[in-house]
Amino acid sequence: MISAVQDYEAIKTAVETAANEHGEPHWFVERRLAAIDAMQDLALPEMKRYDFHRWPLMDNMELNFRRSDKSLADGLPKAKNQIRFVQVGQTTVAVDLPDELADQGVILTDIFSAFREHPRLTEKYFMEKVTNYKENKLTAYQQAFLNAGVFLYVPKGVEIKRPIEAYLIQDSTVKQPMVSHVLIIAEENSQFSFIQHLNTKGDEANAAHCMVEVLSRANSHVHFSSVDELGEHTYSFLHRRANLSRNARFDWAIGIVNDQNTLGDITSELIGEGAHSESKVIAVTTGKQSNGINNRVVNRGKHTTANISQRGVLLEKSELIFNGIGNIIHGASGANAEQENRVLMMSDHAHGDANPILLIDEDDVIAGHAASVGQVDQNQLYYLMSRGIDKELAQRLVIRGFLGPVLEEIPLPEVRQEMIDVIERKLEDGQHFN
């Protein structure tokens, strides 16, 4: 359980020893120890109308570094001229970055190499500008027990036409949590797409803490996609946040199709005037799993625009809670924050909720919301079945139609198709609809 009593002094000693043996810079070792100190007094993150306090997210308070079997990454797609980063557990399997991009100053590397080789960037920005480790107990855990991750730096004015893909594979052939971090810095006028793939290999019961921090500078344009497929023995905390400067455009497209309980937190902080963010999330739950997702936009700058679009499908006895949070700060005149949260239950035993939350402290703004929670339309099913389609296929067609409006708005066709394929596999994988 999260609340288990711990000997923090002994933990600090063990973590310091492991970090030094790992060759980490002094500044980061000190940050690990500061985070362990902070954990003792910090509360868990807030999730309205959702209880995750008994999940085994922090059972493991050890820092170990092991080499994983690289063959666990076999079978990944490899296209010509693909830009990609592949990591299994803590073992970096591949970094494919074209010379022409490296010559322009693009950096793509594992997070610990970045700490050692690019301290000017990482010491300043890692859990300092976007997310702070003192926010809650889980963010402190992230800094204290970090053991994997990737760093991407795109210099001013660089446009990357091909998507950058990061395959981050949890090695659950051994007993060890995945504490992974993606740190992205998009300088002024840069433009690129980043695709994250989360997956699990092995059957050990482990937690996964996966954090994303993005600094999106003035006039940059970044599209971040993720397909989350963590395993049935993995309880996960997925924290993603982007800070947007003046006239920056940053978009999320997230497919959450893990096989165990997930606590998700997605935030866009629109700080600079004219910043724009689209946040699109799809979630599918099955069995007895439970997902709680906060999707938050914070309009701080004037004339900022943020839209949330979430759709979730529940099967069997599963639970899914969407909290859509629009927060317009005083002084953000001319801001626009809209959200749509819709949940479709395919079973009488499922429990879904969609909670639109508007926090507005400015008069000259536009804000709106739409939310719905309901059972599958039996008339749709009967119509399809009357055309000779069996019940399970008819249900999948209804689900495709329900998710379609969000899927169709994902601009990268390869991401859109991957999400469709993953959702299809989850729906077909021995599920029994009611």
Residues comprising the chain, all counted: 434
The token pair that represents 1 in the structure block = 């359980």
* Chain centroid to CA 192: 18
The token pair that represents 255 in the structure block = 């497919």
For 238, the enclosing helix (H) or strand (E) is strand 234-244
pLDDT digits (tens, 9 = 90+) for 270-286: 999 999 999 999 999 99
Question: What average pLDDT does range 354-374 have in this prediction?
Answer: 96
* pLDDT computed for residue 5 by the predictor: 54
For the ranges 44-53, 125-134, 292-301, the lowest mean pLDDT is seen at 44-53
The token pair that represents 38 in the structure block = 């902070």
Environment class of 408 (CB within 10 Å of its CB; exposed 0-12, middle 13-18, buried 19+): exposed
Q: What are phi and psi of 234, to 5 degrees?
A: -115, 110
Question: What average pLDDT does range 163-167 have in this prediction?
Answer: 97
Output the average pLDDT for the chain.
Answer: 95
- Quote the CA–CA distance of 101 and 48 in Å, as a whole number: 43
The predicted model scores a pTM of 0.96
* pLDDT computed for residue 412 by the predictor: 82
Each domain of the chain, given as residue ranges in start order, spans: 8-272
Beta-sheet strands, E only, within 334-410: 336-345, 351-360, 366-375
pLDDT digits (tens, 9 = 90+) for 369-383: 999 999 988 888 888
- Quote the CA–CA distance of 85 and 391 in Å, as a whole number: 41
Q: For tokens 């954090």, what's the residue?
A: 211
> What percentage of residues in the chain have a pLDDT greater than 90?
87
Listed as own residue / partner, the contacts of 391-395 with beta carbons closer than 8 Å and 24 or more positions apart are: 391/433, 392/433, 395/346, 395/427, 395/433
- Quote the CA–CA distance of 39 and 67 in Å, as a whole number: 28
> What percentage of residues in the chain have a pLDDT greater than 70?
97
Q: What are phi and psi of 339, to 5 degrees?
A: -150, 150
pLDDT digits (tens, 9 = 90+) for 260-317: 999 999 999 999 999 999 999 999 999 999 999 999 999 999 999 999 999 999 999 9
